[in-house]
Amino acid sequence: MSNTSSARPAGGERYLVGVDVGTGSARAGLFDLSGRMLASGKRDISLFREPGAMVEQSSTEIWAAVCASVREAVAKAGVAPEAVAGIGFDATCSLVVLGEGGAPLPVGPSEDPARDIIVWMDHRAVNEVERINATNHDVLRYVGGRISPEMETPKLLWLRENRPQVFDAAWQFFDLADFLTWRATGDLARSTCTVTCKWTYLAHEKRWDPSYFHAIGLGVLAEEDFARIGQRVVEPGTPLGAGLTAQAAGELGLVAGTPVGAGMIDAHAGGIGTVGVDGPAESNLGYVFGTSSCTMTSTHAPVFVPGVWGPYFSAMVPGLWLNEGGQSAAGAAIEQLLSFHPAAAEAAAQAKARGLSLPVFLAELAAGRAGTLSDVARLADGLHVVPEFLGNRAPFADPHARAAIVGLGMERDIDNLVSLYIAGLCGIGYGLRQIIDAQAAAGAPVEKIVISGGAGQLDLVRQLLADATGKPLLSTRSEEPVLLGAAILGSVAGGAFEDVRSAMAALSATDRIYRPAGSEAAALHARRYDAFQRLQQLARDIR
């Protein structure tokens, strides 16, 4: 184990900082070199919604939230700033637009320059997506055949056509994780994770494809030799610049020169914080279950799965190919589903009185009614939910898909709300099973699911997902695997570990295994899965 951090003191313990910027908050965790988190900090961040599926944020606010979170975590842990051996960042795959000197530019009709981020979930560019997909350009093979409105080139095209003055004035277009590392170090390098997964960079060939940009109406970026979207692309964990600049170090409460690793998309950080447990990464599907969901499957050779993003080279685990699926709404879909029920307000009040969230409260009621966790699916008898409130990300790449709910009656009580909650969770599980089946059919089977994310922390949810998919589901020792994944990037940049794989193996471990239930429960889920697929198809047909 090498010790190359210029910021650490002579002797003494060394620590890592991982920073995660999600949709609603910025968080920081301080870890020791065994992977144990000693303290964390958190700050909420604003989300601005506009008509037309527009969702925006502020990079200035996010950076301030990051700095406050890091200061809080380091102070809580009682660790000297000079003992931090490295810092890593992850973030949602949102588009940051900056003018000369890093000044924020307004990306929407509010004309507020502070609102310089088009958030990942923003679907303003659906028309641009359809036009891009109609080109059938060869690079689309590496995004599952169809690009998504969550990706960056449709959003860039929307900006050029709808806000040309902003597009032309932009100095840099960043993925949010790359913005954070630039803000920390002054280094304009992009991560293979961000630009390969969301910008169509061909990491296996180490190049952008100029013909794609010309074909879709963004040829100006190619003519500029991609100076505004990334001329230097490096693997996650690569040390950037000279570490923290003096300004960034002062804002973060750390030491100038502290190593900073190239960042990642948040879900992929959750992947490297989890898939290294219990065998090779190739046998484990990383499943991040949060506001949205993300599935990550690693293979030695590229596997093309229609409707599943990728294959992406070195986008998560360096040297391996990645297939990425999931849904745009997962935890958010459950919240939306529950909000429709007449008993939702009463249940939410009871949950609040007990200091619980509504899903946790309903999960407790469900566990009490079912007896065993593998019996909970029976509570949803007659109720079926296809929870595609925000389209189907995978395996159909259909942003126009919408939810289907069948079996609701006139019941207005909390027991019926519990049944609807379980039906919704089953729908999440069957969507996951559908992605696993599609990947296996294409040549990328997995043996186990490794879970992370705030919506997947309950035993009931984990067991239900194992039963619904028929796959063992593992939870990791770390309660914050996304933060751990970010810290892993800092550990490599700071020389605590030789590479990402060795850091994954050293810092992550299995906590519990949830095995799928026996034949009776498996048969029930097989019937419900069949109903799920039929409803999904019917919804497409009648649309």
Q: Are residues 165 and 250 in the same domain?
A: yes
Q: Are residues 92 and 240 in the same domain?
A: yes
pLDDT at 321: 96
In one-letter notation, the amino acid at residue 439 is Q
Q: What is the pLDDT along the chain (543 residues), one digit of tens a residue?
A: 333 333 334 357 899 999 999 999 999 999 999 999 999 999 999 999 999 899 999 999 999 999 999 999 999 999 999 999 999 999 999 999 999 999 999 999 999 999 999 999 999 999 999 999 999 999 999 988 899 999 999 999 999 999 999 999 999 999 999 999 999 999 999 999 999 999 999 999 999 999 999 999 999 999 999 999 999 999 999 999 999 999 999 999 999 999 999 999 998 999 999 988 877 888 999 999 988 999 999 999 999 999 999 999 999 998 999 999 999 899 999 999 999 999 999 999 999 999 999 999 999 999 999 989 999 999 999 999 999 999 999 999 898 999 999 999 999 999 999 999 999 999 999 999 999 999 999 999 999 999 988 889 899 999 999 999 999 999 998 889 999 999 999 999 999 999 999 999 899 889 999 999 999 999 999 999 999 999 999 999 998
Which runs of E-coded beta strand occur in 355-509?
384-386, 404-406, 448-452, 473-476
Looking only at the bridges linking them, the beta strands covering 95-98 and 172-175 are: antiparallel
Q: Are residues 260 and 351 in the same domain?
A: no
Cβ neighbors of 190 (< 8 A, separation 6 or more) are 174, 175, 178, 201, 229, 230, 232, 233, 234, 262
- Distance CA(484)–CA(40), nearest Å, equals 11
Query: Could you tell me if 109 and 50 are in contact, meaning their C-beta atoms sit under 8 angstroms apart?
Result: yes
Pick the last residue of a domain from 245, 265, 285.
265
Hey, what are 222's tokens?
């190619």
Query: Could you tell me if 424 and 468 are in contact, meaning their C-beta atoms sit under 8 angstroms apart?
Result: no
- Distance CA(494)–CA(107), nearest Å, equals 36
Residue 394's domain comprises 331-434+519-542
Q: Are residues 249 and 348 in the same domain?
A: no
Domain membership flag for residue 501: no
pLDDT at 520: 93
Domain membership flag for residue 481: no
Domain membership flag for residue 289: no
Q: Are residues 351 and 247 in the same domain?
A: no
Q: For 71-86, b where at least 16 C-beta lie within 10 A, e where not — what string?
A: bbbbeebebebbbbbb
Domain membership flag for residue 113: yes
Helices and strands (H and E) in the chain: how many: 18, 21
Domain membership flag for residue 297: no
Q: Are residues 245 and 347 in the same domain?
A: no
State the CATH number of the domain containing residue 407: 1.20.58.2240
In one-letter notation, the amino acid at residue 86 is G
- The DSSP output letter for 144 is T
- The DSSP output letter for 500 is H
pLDDT at 479: 83
| Helical segments of 226-265, H only | 246-252
pLDDT at 8: 38
Number of domains in the chain: 2
| Helical segments of 53-170, H only | 59-77, 126-134, 152-162, 164-169
State the CATH number of the domain containing residue 87: 3.30.420.40
Domain membership flag for residue 281: no
Dihedral sign for Cα atoms in the order 518, 521, 524, 526: negative
Cβ neighbors of 110 (< 8 A, separation 6 or more) are 48, 50, 56
Cβ neighbors of 434 (< 8 A, separation 6 or more) are 395, 532, 533
Cβ neighbors of 442 (< 8 A, separation 6 or more) are 303, 304, 305, 306, 308
Chain-centroid distance, C-alpha 130: 24
- Cis status of the peptide bond prior to 259, with omega within 30 of 0: no
- Distance CA(297)–CA(310), nearest Å, equals 10
Pick the last residue of a domain from 248, 265, 282.
265
Helix (H, G, I), strand (E, B) or coil at 294: strand
- Distance CA(15)–CA(85), nearest Å, equals 6
Q: Are residues 342 and 239 in the same domain?
A: no
Pick the last residue of a domain from 265, 297, 322.
265
Domain membership flag for residue 54: yes
Q: Are residues 257 and 358 in the same domain?
A: no
Hey, what are 241's tokens?
């610049």
Say what the pTM is. Answer: 0.87
Domain membership flag for residue 343: yes
Q: Among residues 334, 538, 361, which one has the least CA distance to residue 455? A: 334
Cβ neighbors of 88 (< 8 A, separation 6 or more) are 16, 17, 18, 19, 237, 260, 261, 263, 264, 269, 485, 486, 487, 488, 489, 490, 491, 493
Q: Are residues 213 and 68 in the same domain?
A: yes
Q: Are residues 252 and 343 in the same domain?
A: no
- Distance CA(29)–CA(310), nearest Å, equals 30
Q: Are residues 48 and 135 in the same domain?
A: yes
138 CB neighbour count, 10 Å cutoff: 12
Query: Could you tell me if 107 and 122 are in contact, meaning their C-beta atoms sit under 8 angstroms apart?
Result: no
Got the DSSP string for 318-385? Answer: TTSEEEEEEES-SHHHHHHHHHTSTTHHHHHHHHHHTT--HHHHHHHHHHHHHSSGGGGGGGGTT-EE
Q: Are residues 176 and 84 in the same domain?
A: yes
Hey, what are 49's tokens?
């919604």
Phi-psi bin for 312: left (phi > 0), alpha (psi -120 to 50), beta? beta
Q: Helix, strand, coil proportions of the chain in percent (round to 5)? A: 40, 20, 35
- Distance CA(516)–CA(473), nearest Å, equals 8
Which runs of E-coded beta strand occur in 360-496?
384-386, 404-406, 448-452, 473-476
pLDDT at 1: 31
